[in-house]
């Protein structure tokens, strides 16, 4: 199952990167990416949740706390992130790991989505113009 998750997450990342709507490292795309990955996984029978929370980056003796971030979580605690490259070269394009102290969820599922769209200033129109439906559709077409 994990191979399938990575394959789907990779397709979402590729669609985001080719949309030219985001920074090359996909900074700012975590909400759209995580929401899309969770939705695609659920449509394929893999329980997944969209999560909003804090991420702690640890690299070579330097720790950065409280980076507001979105990711996808599987029911077994596996974290899937397709925009981790925004944190530098220390993260792979598709980051998959067991949830640990670096990931502190604030909200999950619908509550997370409502928070992101309202508090981060995303509107439905902005999401549509920045390509989420197109990303979702092109990712779906890959399957």
CB 67 within 8 A of CB 56: yes
Mean pLDDT of 101-130: 70
Structure tokens at 73: 């979580």
Is the pTM for the entire model greater than 0.75? yes
Among residues 59, 58, 41, the alpha carbon closest in space to that of 50 is found at 41
| pLDDT of 134 over the 50 cut | no
Task: Determine the Cα–Cα distance for residues 25 and 131; give it in Å rounded to an integer.
Answer: 16
Q: What single-letter DSSP state applies at residue 85?
A: G
Signed CA dihedral, 74, 76, 79, 82: sign only: negative
In this prediction, residue 24 has a pLDDT band, given cuts at 50, 70 and 90, of confident
| pLDDT of 136 over the 50 cut | no
| pLDDT of 126 over the 70 cut | no
Q: Write the pLDDT tens digit of every residue in 47-102.
A: 999 998 887 766 555 545 456 789 999 999 999 999 888 776 667 788 888 888 77
Measured N-to-C along each axis, helices 30-43 and 109-119 cross at an angle, to the nearest 10 degrees, of 150
pLDDT of residue 69: 82
């Amino acid at each position: 199952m994990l191979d399938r998750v990575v394959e789907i997450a990779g397709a979402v990342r590729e669609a985001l990167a080719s949309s030219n709507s985001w920074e090359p490292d996909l900074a700012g795309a975590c909400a759209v990416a995580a929401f899309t990955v969770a939705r695609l996984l659920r449509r394929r029978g893999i329980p997944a949740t969209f999560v909003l929370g804090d991420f702690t980056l640890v690299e070579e003796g330097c720790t950065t706390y409280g980076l507001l971030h979105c990711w996808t979580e599987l029911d077994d605690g596996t974290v899937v992130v397709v925009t981790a490259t925004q944190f530098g070269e220390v993260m792979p394009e598709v980051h998959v790991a067991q949830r640990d102290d670096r990931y502190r969820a604030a909200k999950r599922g619908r509550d997370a989505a409502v928070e992101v769209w309202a508090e981060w200033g995303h509107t439905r129109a902005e999401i549509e113009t920045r390509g989420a439906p197109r990303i979702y559709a092109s990712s779906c077409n890959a399957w």
